[in-house]
Each structure stands twice: as structure tokens, then as C-alpha cells.
Structure 1
């Protein structure tokens, strides 16, 4: 989703940081991009658990390469060995190659081990593992990443949608896409009113604080296959806690951001239209180590 200009600037800033810090080996940089402005959050002269993910994404053993650099070898000496070639090429010819594959990292959380903990994300590191999905198609890569964490995105059924007012315009496209794929839309009062006013058929469902059967009852009864919820306000957060807990306990895919929900809708569409094609990673990258 990033423009070529932003990607170029990120690469250039990374090179400048590495040279200024005199890093030999691996370096972990965290960037944030907002309104085409690039911000550097932190720089660590060390490896991270992202290294094996990136290695699998591009097909090159970065830890092996970095280890050789650390003990004094030059990158131009390593290139023929790593890439199994005899002639000399600039290293940038290989690092900048376009693999034309989407690699999506999904986190694994321990929510099911702690029944009273609110499965809500914040700035703390709460994940206990990671999974990965690779495919030429973004939707299928996202579907694989979700499946690898144990959550299979549904092909049909009921989708519960309840979003904050600021997210209502953006959720409209998602609801239309899911409706076109044959899903039934369930929504609480505010979202239900917005969807129906914009020609998206939906069924009204009660909040936890309203009459029963409510949305949590429906989740527990197996009547909800997908949840899209961006809570706002104290009452909604209280309701959302029980929705989140019910989703975890009954393994219902749950998305709290519009971007995540849209990715899920695209993944479901791709899966229904194309199915899943699984290949060994060695085959994807031509048998490289």
C-alpha cells in the first residue's frame, strides 16, 4: 500500500542509519508513515524475530549473511556463495529484486489460556508467537496467515458489524462486499440504521446491555461466523469486552480495525473464487537455501 517514493525514502534512510551507526551485521528499524511523512520510532543494532520472517519472504538467509559480515567478510565476497553464481554482480541487484509475492505476518495470542483477560491490543507486546502466509495474491496470503494461527475465515454465514460513527462510511464497502459473497449482515442499532439507509440489507441485533437474545448469545450459540467491531465510548467498550471474550472462546474471527476487516473480506472473496494453492517455500524461491 506504500508508494514507490515512500519505499525509496525508507530504503535511503535505512542505509544512512546503518552507515552513521557503523552497523555490521543486522539492524532492526521501526518506521511509521502518516500522510506521506516518515517517522523513525527506534533503531536497534541487533537481530529481531522479524529476521526469519523477512528471510522467508525474500528467499535469502539473512542471519547467515549477517554472520559472515560480522566476522569480517565483505558483501561482494558473499554474493557469489549465497546466490550460487560465479560471475560478479553488485549486491544491490539481488537485494532490490522484486519477488512479486505477498508475505503476511500474523500474531498468535494466548487469550484462550487466560479466560478473564481482555483480548484488547495496546502498545505492550502481548503476542506469544507468529505465523506467516505467502502467496502471489494478497487475499490468499492473508487467508493463509489467518489459518496458520488457527482461525479459518468463513465462506458463508452471519457477519456481525458494529462500528464507531467515524468508521461507518468506510465499513459500507466491506458490508457490500460481504453481502455480495452471500453473507447475512447482523448489526446493532446505529450501524443497522446506517447500513439500511445506504441500501445494504441487514438484521437488527441487540447489544449486551439490551434485551436478549443479544449479540453475545448469538456468538455462543454458533450463529455468528465473523465479527467486525470498532468500539467507542465507555458503554461500548464494556459490551465489546464480552464480545471479544465470546469470540476468543468460540474461535470466531474478530477484527477491530477497518483495514483488518477489509483485508478479511478480500481474503474470503479470493478464497471462494480461487481456492488455496500450497507450495514448499523452496519451490517458491527456486530451491535457494
Structure 2
């Protein structure tokens, strides 16, 4: 069995000049010993933002809640987007877990469809506004992360009249987004019929609906994170019994500006739902806090001892630095 050495290199406290030299040294090591050395470069100042997208096929029972959130929190998820919540409009729970107290919903008037976005209490995401459609299929949050605007979108697409829905979705997102996008979705359709289906199906990956879907991705400059990391691999998130075929219809998409921050993505095993959860992780650079301007604590001016000492120091300064040259 081949021995592998693992190195974890932290760059957070390394000066720029030394950091460049260190990275060059690491590249040389990897080029010579790449079969035996695994080097992971991390930055302690980066925030690891973990996102889960999952079609739950109903969360109306306490048993399902417990299974769901035990699974979600085991992955240390910051943002959880759930499709098919089946909560009735106006009857959604205020919160479903002590660590997930920030809950946003788009629900139908009956117990069908529904999208929820749950945000971990410790997540630095600040939500300003939420928007939802009337059908319980779209939920959009205008938010802020590290002082930058970001829009989180949860989508549960219909099986029928998809072309109309994707055109409506495009307009909805375009009119309400702010900043870069993170889109989590069950599209009920695929982007590439050859790679995302186990067998060719005429109802997916072709036709007007697929063209409208692809146009949405192009207009919003969105990228499929799992496919970005697995360009040729086949894996699936859903099995259709009537069609006897597997497909990858559940996706996490991000704006192109977030691609450099993409760290990982995986399709998790199916457990209590008929869909597999999708995980995505972004390493978001932390903004350094501004030092601001120095300002005198004015309360010190009411301290007689301080004022006498200050007066003495000012006189000393001018005596030493402003004497007339002979």
C-alpha cells in the first residue's frame, strides 16, 4: 500500500511576499512528489458556507422533521433549501429547530408544493427582503454576505407547462435579484440529457422547456456547481418508477463570480425522501474590519491629572522640536 503524506497549509497569517514563495514551493513539491503528497491549502480567514438543496416530499410529520434536520445539521449546513414542504399557506411553522430559527416560506393554499429556506443561527448571512410567487414554487431572498449583496433562490418547477414557468422564473429573478445569485432547485428537467439521464427521455433535456431553462442560466450567468467539479461523471438525484430511469434534476447553481470560491459539491445518498440531497460548499473570503480613524476620548479632558500631563507633554514637544536655530 502506498504511503501518502498529508499537509494542511494555512495562509491566513502569511505575508504576501512570503505567501508567494510558499505557494511556489508547494507547486514544486507537488510536481515532484504528486504521487505521494496530498497538500491542502486553506485560509483561516475564509468562511466555509455550506448549502443543502433537497426535495423532501413533505415535512408535515414530526418524525420527518427530526430525520430531516438531524441529517441536514450533520453536514453543518448554513443554508438549507427544501422543495415540496407541503405546508399550507399561513400555517407554516415559525421554526423547525433551535439552530434554524430564521425560516422563510413560499407555500400554496393547499398542502402541495412549497419551498422553504432555513438559515443557521450562526450563519453571517443577513436577509433584507423575501419574495415568493403565489403557487409555492419560487422563494427569493435578497440578502447580504460580508457587506456584499447576494440573492438566494429556491425553486420547485412543475412537471407540466415548463416552458411558461421557466420564462416566468427568468423574469421573476431578473426583476427582484440583488447582487450575485445562489439558486437551489428541483427543475424536474435536466440540462444535458446524455449526462444527466440514465436513458434517453423525450420529455427531458429537449424541446421548448429545455431551451427556456438553458436561456435562464445564460441570462443570469449561472453555473451548475456539481457539473463544474465533475465534467464527465454520471450521477443522479431521482428515480422515476413510471419511466424506469434515473435523472439529475436537483441542482445548486451559482453566479460566475462565485466560481473561484467553489470548494466542494456532492450528491448524498437517498434516505427518507425519494430525492438525494445536494451539498455545495463555498469558501467566502472574510472582509477585514476597517481600522477606522483615531479619535480622542473626550471624557479625558475632564480629568485634571490627564490635562496637566498633556499640557506638560505638549510643552516638551515644542521645546524639543521648535527651538530657534542659532
TM-score band w.r.t. shorter chain:
under 0.3
TM-score scaled to structure 2, two decimals? 0.22
Identify the structure with the greater strand proportion: 2
Relative to total residues, which structure has the larger helix share, 1 or 2?
A: 1
